[in-house]
């Protein structure tokens, strides 16, 4: 009986996971899902007793999140369970949201027919022109795109919506896009090579590297310093930055590197503050804000610094008080079930001291110290 009960529990777990995934579809498959949704709506409207049914959408709140602890792999990630929210045309509070879903689906259908790719920003301006009564902000468009993803169970990229990328890469990596010359990312200057927002192009790009580490850098300025100093010549590595909170394309790029070079450790260099840890956790576990696509880009990222044991390297006057926003982020992270104990200890220390430290504080040892700091951490294996 115990085995049977465990089997049922496992089946339910994997069933929940499957239902909360967003498929990657070919354009004609995505169009077919849109057509089926429209036909179902028309069938209801043409019935003898017409009634517009509610749209059942996967609940994208933290309370509906579940965790895969990586039993078969070393990657743990967040995914959404099968709790639903309802958007109704007959409810005054959700009527506009109901209509927005169909407006965005119509626009996506046209994009797919024309074999185009648009960013969410471009989609906003088109919707603003075509349906100003329903779309007044980028946030409304972003949320509606997630609603459409939840309704059709396919990725936004499958709908013709391209990721806007802020990401840069530099170091010991050669990238060759289909039909183009290979790019040497160590010869792109201190600005690095821009990561494209075209996920299909990223997926088909050939990658070659003799690096031994992949290092994610929170800040553009720190990335610029490390690349300008050509630290990748001393530490055989690839540097990647999303210039802050990671966009989809940069996360996809890191995930693609992790599958192409599975033996390379992925290390993260972030500020010692709650936002820095939140950025690391987004790369490591995914994010609820990504809805049904949250799980797809998770990687086994290790935290190299800054951490609490580095505070002795930083002058007291370089430590600054936590901001109110920092405290909110810390509270949210501490309530997360996925946060591992040593990360939780670091976060608790930040809250206890009420202080935060930025990577730039290490410049008190000289502008060339960052490379030495990273090398020491790697040699001593001080990453968690």
* Mean pLDDT, the chain, whole residue set: 84
* Contacts for 180 with CB less than 8 Å, ≥ 6 apart: none
Q: Does 5 score more than 50 pLDDT?
A: no
Q: Which residues contact 242 (CB under 8 A, 6 or more apart)?
A: 166, 167, 216, 250, 251, 279
SS3 state of residue 71:
coil
Per-residue confidence (pLDDT) for residue 41, from 0 to 100: 79
Q: Classify 303 as helix, strand or coil.
A: strand
| pLDDT number for residue 24 | 82
What per-residue confidence (pLDDT) applies to 290? 64
Q: Per residue in 238-291, pLDDT tens?
A: 999 999 999 889 999 999 999 999 999 999 999 999 999 999 999 998 876 666
**Which among 102, 56, 61 has a CA at the least distance from the CA of 80?**
61
Q: CA-to-CA distance for 353 and 357, rounded, in angstroms?
A: 11
d(CA 39, CA 45) in angstroms, rounded, equals 10
CA distance 22 to 290: 10
* Spatial CA neighbour of 73 closest among 268, 284, 290, 380: 284
Cα angle 231, 233, 236; round to 5 = 95
Buried b (16+ CB within 10 A) or exposed e, 239-275: bbbbbeebbbbbbbbbbbbbeebeebbbbbbbbbbbb
* pLDDT above 50: residue 71: no
Residues 199, 57: Cα–Cα separation, whole Å: 25
Please identify which of the residues 21, 125, 245, 363 carries the catalytic annotation: 125
What's the gap between Cα 335 and its chain centre?
20
Output the pLDDT for position 337: 78
Q: Which of 197 and 44 is assigned the larger pLDDT?
A: 197
| Residue 338's pLDDT band (cuts 50, 70, 90) | confident
What does 140-187 look like in DSSP terms, one character per residue?
A: HHHHHHHHHHHHHTB-TGGGTEEPP---EEEES-EEE-TTS--EETTS
Of 219, 175, 167, nearest to 192 (Cα)? 167
CA atoms within a 13 Å half-sphere pointing along the CA-CB vector of 76: 11
Other C-beta atoms closer than 10 Å to the C-beta of 3 total 7
- Residue 57 CA to residue 147 CA, distance in Å, equals 7
The reported pLDDT for the residue numbered 1 is 33
Q: Is 125 a catalytic residue?
A: yes
User: Which of these ranges, 11-20, 86-95, 119-128, 202-211, has the smallest mean pLDDT?
Assistant: 11-20
The Cα–Cα gap between 147 and 292 comes to 10
Query: Which of 251, 253, 335, 242 shows the shortest CA–CA distance to 286?
Result: 251
């Amino acid at each position: 009986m115990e085995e049977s009960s465990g089997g049922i529990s496992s089946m339910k777990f994997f069933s929940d996971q499957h239902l909360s995934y967003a498929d990657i579809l070919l354009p004609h498959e995505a169009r077919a899902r849109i057509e089926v949704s429209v036909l179902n709506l028309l069938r209801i409207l043409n019935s003898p007793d017409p009634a517009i049914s509610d749209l059942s959408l996967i609940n994208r709140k933290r309370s509906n999140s579940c965790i895969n602890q990586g039993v078969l792999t070393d990657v743990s990630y967040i995914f959404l369970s099968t709790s639903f929210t309802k958007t109704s045309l007959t409810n005054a509070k959700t009527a506009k949201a109901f209509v927005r879903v169909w407006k965005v689906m119509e626009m996506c259908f046209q994009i797919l027919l024309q074999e185009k790719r648009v960013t969410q920003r471009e989609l906003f301006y088109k919707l603003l022109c075509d349906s100003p009564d329903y779309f007044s902000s980028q946030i409304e468009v972003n949320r509606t795109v997630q609603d459409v993803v939840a309704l059709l169970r396919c990725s936004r990229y499958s709908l013709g919506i391209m990721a806007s990328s802020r990401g840069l890469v530099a170091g010991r990596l050669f990238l060759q896009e289909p039909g183009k010359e290979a790019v040497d990312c160590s010869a792109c200057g201190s600005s690095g090579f821009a990561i494209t927002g075209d996920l299909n192009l990223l997926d088909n790009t050939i990658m070659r590297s003799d690096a031994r580490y992949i290092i994610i850098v929170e800040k553009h300025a720190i990335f610029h310093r490390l690349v300008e100093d050509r630290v990748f010549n001393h530490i055989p590595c690839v540097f990647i930055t999303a210039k802050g909170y990671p966009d989809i394309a940069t996360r996809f790029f890191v995930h693609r590197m992790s599958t192409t070079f599975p033996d390379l450790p992925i290390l993260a260099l972030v500020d010692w503050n709650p936002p820095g840890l939140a950025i690391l956790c987004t790369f490591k576990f995914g994010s609820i804000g990504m809805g049904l696509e949250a799980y797809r880009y998770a990687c086994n990222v290790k935290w190299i610094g800054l951490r609490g044991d580095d505070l002795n390297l930083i002058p007291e006057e370089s430590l600054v008080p936590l901001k109110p926003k920092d405290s909110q982020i810390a509270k949210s992270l501490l309530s997360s079930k996925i946060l591992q104990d040593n990360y939780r200890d670091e976060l608790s220390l930040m809250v206890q001291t009420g202080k935060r430290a930025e990577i730039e504080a290490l410049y008190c040892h000289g502008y060339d110290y960052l490379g030495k700091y990273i090398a020491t951490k790697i040699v001593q294996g001080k990453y968690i």
